[in-house]
Amino acid sequence: MFTKILIANRGEIACRVARTARRLGIKTVAVYSTADAQAQHVKVCDEAYWIGEAPAADSYLRGEKILAIAKLSGAQAIHPGYGFLSENAGFAEACEQAGVVFIGPPTQAMLAMGLKSESKRLMTEAKVPLVPGYHGADQSVELLREQSQAIGYPQLIKASAGGGGKGMRVVKNFAEFDAALASAKREALASFGNDSVLIERYLQQPRHVELQVFADTLGNVVHVFERDCSIQRRHQKVLEEAPAPGMTPELRQAMGQAAINAAQAIGYVGAGTVEFLLDQSGEFFFMEMNTRLQVEHPVSEMISGLDLVEWQLRVANGEPLPLTQEQLEIKGHAFEVRVYAEMPERDFLPATGRLTYLHAPTETDYVRIDTGVRQGDEVSMFYDPMIAKLIVWGADRHQALKRLQAALGDYYISGVKTNLAFLSTLVSLPDFAAAHLDTGFIEQHLEALFPPASSPPNEVLAAACLAELVTRQERLTQTQAQSIDPYSPWAIADAWRMNQEGVDHFEFQLGEVLYPIQGYYRADAYYLQTPEAEQRLSGERLTEHEWLVSLGKKTFRATVLANRTVLWEGKAWELRLHDPVHEVDEQGVQGGNLTAPMPGAVIAVHVKLGDQVAAGEALMIVVAMKMEHTITAPHAGQVKEIYFQVGDQVKEGEVLLSLESSHESA
């Protein structure tokens, strides 16, 4: 077995690989960018080396630098994790030539599956079923247009050289084709350095079911059962489960054999995933093969009892697979949800910021958290916005789902927008509990997933008031200590009033709604007056953020953060004291100004000063984390100012363009 390996990645997967290596007595070497100098993966490895500035192209994609560090540190092998260099055949070949083991498949297997068009050809020869489409090398726009019309609609344009939802567009009719093709090619080039695409018929309401395969150098190939990854947004997985609900033994056998055939057809070695679309009739079609360990591999580990990273290390060391297909069995059910820094209510745009507060559920035999961040860490614009993976196991799907719901109810993050509330709502939907799954699940349940904002309960408002009162009193104590006459009533800023009952006025805001509350002393007690009732309020601070609150006859615990976010009964209420300053609306429109919905870079400007534009017309494209966002005109009008050009970096909320409405200019 290896004695030292280099982990050519960051975040949770680097920490995950290091954990198994440590258990096996293998030393680990981390690499890090300037942005990751204090990152968790740097702390958990035995040694670490700086590889460049924050952008991935200047750090985690510098294969020659990483290989040089492997040689310098004495690492015998490199584990690429997922993303970055994990599916880079050139890097794998360079490792081989340098005498460093690449913990992944052979170069020829990566090349075969790295281009989707070539993989489709090989799967046809291996008699693995395919979706009708065009996978050819001729990428002329004229031919692609012809193929688009021949395939029919709806259809999917996909980057040939990669996955993860990047370079992927749904085309509903021919009129949408040219714009979708240009956007997909541009995103594919930025993400993978290759703008080749393929076009496939878009199946209606299919499920995304994938098989975890493993092969050794001795010709043995097994599958570690299937995962259902149908719950997706932006064509990217957000929740996975294993085994797939409703899977019959016959269908599992057929899909498992097809996955094994796919691996054997390219001489595969190591961990891989063969992805299929499964339609309502039970037919399945090959999509692609990911030649690496997947983000969602933990659900397969939870139902099989295996450590797939250990299997990777053993296979890369030339050992045979530890188990045969007959020895593998499914034990229970598992879910994984991906906790992202993003804004689900704004079409899942990525978010950035500092994790000012992080409380994760307690890990147990059936609750697992894979993460690479801690409280205080920064979620930057340079990398994928995933914060953690929450994995939960149960004896069956029902028990696993109940445990997942409970774990999500005990997961709190503040300082950056996340999808935690969205995930909690998602896993509570009746259709999800009934396993009515397909890749359009989120779009079909938008109304249930994004219900109208509810009013904060009195308990939440009471906790916020109590924390505000104590904070004011603490500030007051400091003021009194500095006062010439600290005992003067004029130095006291609480609810004391001469000749009248003292009243505290609180006006909390949630979204656009204000919640006015009055508080006052009567005899020896403090009371809150809400629209519903007058109730006595008391309590005490237990820790920096934890409070014991008594409201009327009810006593409860709540967490109140410095930014006035209240965490109670599984939900975060992002309150703030009312600030009448005009806010930017959801669409990033402030008066006639269009603002950046996220930090990123301008990659296209479609208008010039003085242009007349129609409502909905594309004005500018901003890209962040390799995902494009088109800035469109909220109304018809004239372009009055353009503040940024192609290549400029923008911050969230910065004004990009000014647009005078047709009504204003009339």
**C-alpha to C-alpha distance for 339 and 411, rounded to whole angstroms:** 10
CB burial readout 413-422, b (16+ within 10 A) else e: bbbbbbbbbb
The position carrying tokens 């659900």 is 299
The end-to-end CA distance of the chain, in Å, is 77
**Tens of pLDDT, residues 370-393:** 999 999 999 988 999 999 999 999
**C-alpha to C-alpha distance for 622 and 629, rounded to whole angstroms:** 5
**C-alpha to C-alpha distance for 466 and 539, rounded to whole angstroms:** 7
* Predicted pLDDT at 575: 92
**C-alpha to C-alpha distance for 39 and 630, rounded to whole angstroms:** 32
Indicate the SS3 state at residue 31.
strand
**C-alpha to C-alpha distance for 71 and 121, rounded to whole angstroms:** 38
Tokens of 61: 């994609």
**C-alpha to C-alpha distance for 244 and 207, rounded to whole angstroms:** 10
How many helices and strands (H and E) does the chain possess? 18, 41
Contact between 183 and 628 under an 8 Å Cβ cutoff? The reply is yes
**C-alpha to C-alpha distance for 281 and 300, rounded to whole angstroms:** 25
214 bridge partner residues: 222, 271
* Predicted pLDDT at 641: 92
As to burial, measured by CB atoms within 10 angstroms (0-12 exposed, 13-18 middle, 19+ buried), residue 99 is: exposed
Contact between 647 and 602 under an 8 Å Cβ cutoff? The reply is yes
DSSP character for 659?
E
Closest CA to 14 of 352, 412, 383, 320: 383
As to burial, measured by CB atoms within 10 angstroms (0-12 exposed, 13-18 middle, 19+ buried), residue 591 is: exposed
**C-alpha to C-alpha distance for 242 and 222, rounded to whole angstroms:** 17
Indicate the SS3 state at residue 335.
strand
Backbone φ/ψ region at 246: left (φ over 0), alpha (ψ -120 to 50), beta: left
- Size of the chain in residues: 666
**C-alpha to C-alpha distance for 467 and 473, rounded to whole angstroms:** 10
Q: Catalytic: 292?
A: yes
**C-alpha to C-alpha distance for 191 and 167, rounded to whole angstroms:** 8
Name 578's Cβ contacts closer than 8 Å, sequence gap at least 6. Answer: 507, 508, 509, 514
* Predicted pLDDT at 138: 94
Name 101's Cβ contacts closer than 8 Å, sequence gap at least 6. Answer: 2, 76, 77, 78, 95, 316, 317
Strands, E assignment, 512-654: 513-522, 525-529, 534-541, 546-551, 554-560, 565-568, 571-574, 576-577, 589-590, 593-595, 600-605, 612-613, 618-624, 627-632, 637-642, 649-650
529 bridge partner residues: 518, 534
Determine how many CB atoms are found less than 10 A away from the CB of residue 108. 14
Name 197's Cβ contacts closer than 8 Å, sequence gap at least 6. Answer: 139, 144, 157, 158, 159, 160, 167, 181, 184, 185, 188
**C-alpha to C-alpha distance for 187 and 318, rounded to whole angstroms:** 38
**C-alpha to C-alpha distance for 367 and 335, rounded to whole angstroms:** 10
User: Quick one: CA torsion of 153, 156, 160, 166, rounded to 10 degrees?
Assistant: 160
**C-alpha to C-alpha distance for 177 and 84, rounded to whole angstroms:** 30
**C-alpha to C-alpha distance for 307 and 317, rounded to whole angstroms:** 16
As to burial, measured by CB atoms within 10 angstroms (0-12 exposed, 13-18 middle, 19+ buried), residue 220 is: middle
Tokens of 253: 């056998």
* Predicted pLDDT at 628: 80
Domains of the chain (ranges plus CATH)? Answer: 4-103 (3.40.50.20), 110-129+204-331 (3.30.470.20), 132-201 (3.30.1490.20), 341-445 (3.30.470.20), 458-577 (3.30.700), 589-665 (2.40.50.100)
CB burial readout 150-174, b (16+ within 10 A) else e: ebeeebbbbbbbbbbbbbbbebeee
52 bridge partner residues: 33
For 179-188, the CB contacts below 8 A with 24+ separation are: 181/141, 181/144, 181/157, 183/628, 184/157, 184/158, 184/159, 186/603, 186/604, 186/628, 187/159, 187/623, 187/626, 187/627, 187/628, 188/159, 188/160, 188/161, 188/162
Residue numbers of the chain with a pLDDT score lower than 70: 475, 478-502, 579-591, 625-626, 663-666
**C-alpha to C-alpha distance for 60 and 79, rounded to whole angstroms:** 13
Q: What is the DSSP string of 492-508?
A: --SS-BTTB---EEEEE
Q: Of 169, 233, 292, 314, which one is the catalytic site residue? A: 292
